[in-house]
Amino acid sequence: MDDLAALVSAILRSRRIKNRLVILCEGDLLPVGTGGPPSPQTYRRLEAMPDANFYKACVPNDWQGDRLPQFFSCGGRSQVIQVYQALLEEHRLASETSYLTPDKLYALVDLDIQANEMPEGYPWRTTEDVHATLYENGLIKGDPDAGHRIWVTALVHKEAFFFLPATEAVWRDETSAFFDGAPLALRNVHTAIAQRLTTDADLARHLHVVKKRVGRFEAGAALTCVDGDTLCTSWLAAAQSATDDNAYDGLVRALLAVAKVKPLWSKILPNPRWEADMRADHFREQLALIIGGSIAKLAPEAHPLAGFFAWLKPRR
């Protein structure tokens, strides 16, 4: 039995999913060792993986008790989609031994730069098609169709949510993070993210996707997307001349839909006075949970993840 098959079996046999939403997301898989698949109890560790833990922290504060969703890390984006398909198929074949409620099964995968094919028969052909249907200017568009079971993040990947302007108060008031040797200023991070566009090989390979995606944002009218250099230069110029916070916020959402931020996230460090007491990776894990907790308090129209959970709430 391979890792994905073992995970599918463990999810279906987990009593924790009975009558609950199940949300599959990206993150490390538990390997199948020589002793056989891990037990369902061991798979509870998947809910503590960074992606699952962050999304769990984003669940709105008014969701209580046994109606909270169960999150499972399932590997990379294509593996999450495979697990989604396999869960439905295995449940169909042996529903009497499954605790899954198929109508409560969802997945949340990264947008990323390149598109990923969706399962055969799914209403949308690629992750890019799903994104174009779900979002407008980086926020959820209207009331999404009930056919959306595999959601794509509004931004390029999970870490991009950490740097939306809506998180500024958290960075300012609840953390003591340092970036490039100085106390973190969110606009300085945005500038660094834009500057990385000039060396992003993935962006260069998938420029046609990036150009079309940027064009779906109102801010895209101010951006030139001939290559990474022109996108960087035009974004910096537009950000410098933004007339108000709303205009700047729109530019940031467009940027974070195409620019990778994981390399910069890894450069965020605790206050140097704390370094002897706290490892940097543990510090960032705690930061992610603080930011997730702040998202849980936001109105659905203020943040795409708040909108996602608001859409899910009546489907619990």
* pLDDT tens-digit map of 201-212: 999 999 999 999
User: In this predicted model, what pLDDT tens digit does every residue of 217-262 receive, in sequence order?
Assistant: 999 999 999 999 999 999 999 999 999 999 999 999 999 999 999 9
Identify whether the C-beta of residue 179 lies closer than 8 Å to the C-beta of residue 189: yes
0.85 cut: is pTM over it?
yes
Longest CA pairwise span in the chain (Å): 62
Q: How far is 302 from 176, CA to CA, in rounded Å?
A: 25
Backbone angles phi, psi at 36, to 5 degrees: 100, 180
State how far the Cα of 230 lies from the Cα of 208, in Å rounded to an integer.
Answer: 14
**Cβ contacts of residue 181 below 8 Å, gap of 6+?**
none
* pLDDT confidence of residue 47: 57
| Closest to 177 measured CA to CA, from 80, 290, 31, 56 | 290
Helix (H) or strand (E) holding 150: strand 150-152
Q: What is the pLDDT of residue 201?
A: 95
**Is 32 in contact with 7 (CB distance < 8 Å)?**
no
pLDDT in tens, the chain (316 residues): 588 898 999 999 999 999 999 999 999 886 655 445 555 556 555 555 678 899 999 999 888 766 789 999 999 999 999 999 999 999 999 999 999 999 999 999 999 999 999 999 999 999 999 999 999 999 999 999 999 999 999 999 999 999 999 888 889 888 889 999 899 999 999 999 999 999 999 999 999 999 999 999 999 999 999 999 999 999 999 999 999 999 999 999 999 999 999 999 999 999 888 766 778 888 999 999 999 999 999 999 889 999 999 999 999 8
Rounded to the nearest 10 degrees, how much is the dihedral formed by the CA atoms of 40, 42, 43, 47?
A: 130
Structural contact between residues 251 and 15, judged by C-beta atoms closer than 8 angstroms: no
